[in-house]
Amino acid sequence: MRPFALLVLLLPALSLAQDGSVSGATSSAAAAGYSCDPTVCKLPACNCASTSPPGGLSPVIIIFPLRRPNSLLFPCSEVPMFIVYTADDAVQSYTLDSVNQFLAHRKNPNGCQPKMSYYVSLNYTNYTLVTDWYVAGNEIADHTMTHVGLPPNNEIDGNLIALNALAGIPLSAISGFRAPYLNFSNETLTHLAAAGFTYDTSATASIPVTANYTDAFWPYTLDYGLANNCLTNIGVCHGQPKLPGFWEVPMYALFDSRGQSGIHLMDPWLDSANGGTTVDDNATLAYMQSTFMAHYNGNRQPFGLYTHPIHTATTYPGVQVPLSTINMINAFLDWAQVQAGVWIVSTEQLLSWVQNPVPLSQLNSFEPLKCSTPQVNASICDGIPANEHGLLDLCAFSDFPFFTCYGCPVTEPTPDNPNPVQVTSNGQQPRERLPANCSTPWWDPIAGKCLCTGSSCQFQDNSRPIGPNGANLTGGGFGGNVSSPSASATFVPFNGNAAPIFPIGTWPAIMLGVFGVVCGLYTVQV
């Protein structure tokens, strides 16, 4: 490995990461022209765009245990305060290190390490690390193959096919999409819904939650069209596009002391705040906290940390990241996690809750937030680094050399050919790709067999009628063909299977079982 050459090759990944900014309100009530009848549009299949939490849950219930002024005030809530943690672009050792420095040492209230969502573009991605990150319980989602705005369909579909073929991610597990540069249209959303995606998360909530006409809606389905980005994107709003059951998860902007005109979205720590000319971590921390509190004390719309991890990567050769910025982000998360009812989640986990909004007091036993570790001891190429030793192939392409468990393709995957045939000219046995009825940690791509035959580790057939020639994708095979025979079995989510391994974490909150709400403890002047 030549570190210098590698650095030069990786630099484009750094410049690609500059996307996702927003300079003002991207919608308005008039531009949205949105109407939806909540008595007709009901969970779990339908949800109107609304600033109120789903399921009629109450964001704030004030309880005065002592009936006199200046006494203890208990602001209680049935609604969790979610921090959605996402990362975009290529997956490399540097970017995973970067995410780990913020999440690896944390626990949610149920004792599980927080999971996050990675919107992967494949240019410069090290495929085997995607496998590992998925098997560790994180969400892997689609950000196009070569990172293009207003993506052509084959950029979206090809990402799905290549992640399945070369990283062994089950097709059924790839449910979300974010457009590079957050640049999408009516047609992007229409294709995503047709391709079997569950949600898009490219739209922006660009007006403060405290403003009268805020567009900070909880995640909603597009049964009645989009209600965000109405001023900026093509062919959306006034009821368009109508995509029943397909979800939009807005990205919630942050606002500094200038309010609406001090808008920030992705990597807020790279921006200067309050009209200043240089980055000031203290000022960033202050508005991250004030925006969080506006959500927390209001309708508890999720708070997003939308990151490009390369910008905070300390292991990336030749790039210096200010330690104060890293410490500031950790200080923010430390501070947020001691507020009552705060959970750090992936987009997929957030959406599971919105579809089935149990009160905060029941979240510790909520299946999609649980964690488990697959017990696999065999030396196979399965996304568990200890089991993979010596079994990975290095595919030495000049753009970016990557590692994979699933056999090197003869050419780099492209949108037109996302699953090329494997190199076997050196006498190597081809590796078999993950089929629809096995899950990643139990699949042995060398022997081509599933180590677990019980219902707990099989996947149901979630074939998608996308890809060249309208192929109904099922995974499996050796590469070269996009379709293979489908298979059926029952699906038990890899992450939701076992009881939490760790004891319940401690946080300064009081559970009031009778009320089914969770309260913070504050002394305030009333």
Ligand X SMILES: *[C@@H]1O[C@H](CO)[C@@H](O)[C@H](O)[C@H]1NC(C)=O
CB of 302 to ligand X, least distance (A): 21
Q: Is 382 in the site for Zn ion (CB under 5 A)?
A: no
| The binder of ligand X chosen from 304, 477, 500, 520 (CB under 6 A) | 477
Answer yes or no: are the C-beta atoms of 168 and 425 closer than 8 Å: no
CB of 179 to Zn ion, least distance (A): 9
Partner from ligand X, Zn ion, none contacting 180, C-beta within 5 to 8 A by type: Zn ion
Q: Is 89 in the site for Zn ion (CB under 5 A)?
A: yes
Task: Map tokens 């630099």 to a residue.
Answer: 11
Answer yes or no: are the C-beta atoms of 123 and 146 closer than 8 Å: yes
Q: Is 133 in the site for ligand X (CB under 6 A)?
A: no
Q: Is 379 in the site for ligand X (CB under 6 A)?
A: no
Partner from ligand X, Zn ion, none contacting 301, C-beta within 5 to 8 A by type: none
Half-sphere exposure of 240 (CA within 13 A, CB side): 12
| The binder of ligand X chosen from 211, 279, 492, 512 (CB under 6 A) | 211
Helices (H) and strands (E) in the chain, counts: 9, 24
- Non-local (6+) Cβ contacts of 1 within 8 A are none
- Nearest 5°: the CA angle 348, 162, 493 is 35
SS3 state at 298: coil
Residue number closest to Zn ion, CB atom: 88
Q: Is 180 in the site for Zn ion (CB under 5 A)?
A: yes
Cα separation, 63 vs 267, in Å, equals 37
CB of 438 to Zn ion, least distance (A): 31
In the shown chain, the binding pattern of residues 320 to 359 toward ligand X, with x for contact by CB under 6 A and - for none, equals ----------------------------------------
Q: Is 212 in the site for ligand X (CB under 6 A)?
A: yes
Cα separation, 182 vs 266, in Å, equals 11
SS3 state at 181: helix
CB of 308 to Zn ion, least distance (A): 7
- Non-local (6+) Cβ contacts of 201 within 8 A are 86, 119, 176, 177, 178, 248, 249, 250, 251, 347
In the shown chain, the binding pattern of residues 68 to 97 toward ligand X, with x for contact by CB under 6 A and - for none, equals ------------------------xx----
Binding region for ligand X (CB under 6 A) out of 186-194, 268-276, 354-362, 509-517: 186-194
- Nearest 5°: the CA angle 426, 432, 435 is 165
In the shown chain, the binding pattern of residues 415 to 454 toward ligand X, with x for contact by CB under 6 A and - for none, equals ------x-------------x-xx-----------x--x-
Q: Is 128 in the site for ligand X (CB under 6 A)?
A: yes
Half-sphere exposure of 225 (CA within 13 A, CB side): 21
Residue type, 274: N
Binding positions for ligand X, rule: CB under 6 A: 92-93, 123, 126, 128-129, 146, 149-150, 181, 183, 186-187, 190, 211-212, 235, 240-241, 280, 282, 375, 377, 392, 399-400, 403, 412, 421, 435, 437-438, 450, 453, 458, 461, 463, 465, 472, 477-478, 480-481, 485-487, 489
